[in-house]
Every structure is written in structure tokens, then in C-alpha cells.
Amino acid sequence: MIASFYLSTVTGEELLTVQAHDRDPFVTLTIREHSIDLTRDEARKAADALRACALTDPS
């Protein structure tokens, strides 16, 4: 595995998981019990959108 990210509630329930493996062209995104495979390019675009949203002024 080259990368992973887990987001859980305080009770330990997994909300979001992102995983990528060596030489696998896909990134697996899991939200609760639903999983999708994204191409590396799609994953980069989603990451860019999340980063842009996180950097906006919340007011």
C-alpha cells in the first residue's frame, strides 16, 4: 500500500477511507459502505476540489 486515509467518528465508525496500492492504476474511495474506484487523474481532481473548498473563507 502506498497511501491510505481513514476518517472515523468518535465511536470508531469508519466514515471515509481512501486507499491506493503500488502499481494499481486506481484509488479506492469508500464512504460508509459504498466504494468506488477512481483513476489517478480523477483522484487528483477530487483532491484538488477538496483542497480548494477547505481553503475558502467560511464566513
SS3 content of the chain, % helix, strand, coil (to 5): 25, 40, 30
15 in Cβ contact with 7 (< 8 Å) = yes
Question: How confident is the model over 22-47, as pLDDT tens digits?
Answer: 889 999 999 999 999 999 999 999 99
Using one digit for the tens of pLDDT, what is the confidence trace for 10-27?
Answer: 998 999 999 999 889 999
Helix (H) or strand (E) holding 20: strand 14-20
Please tell me the distance from the alpha carbon of residue 30 to that of residue 32, in angstroms, as a whole number: 6
Q: pTM for the complete prediction?
A: 0.79
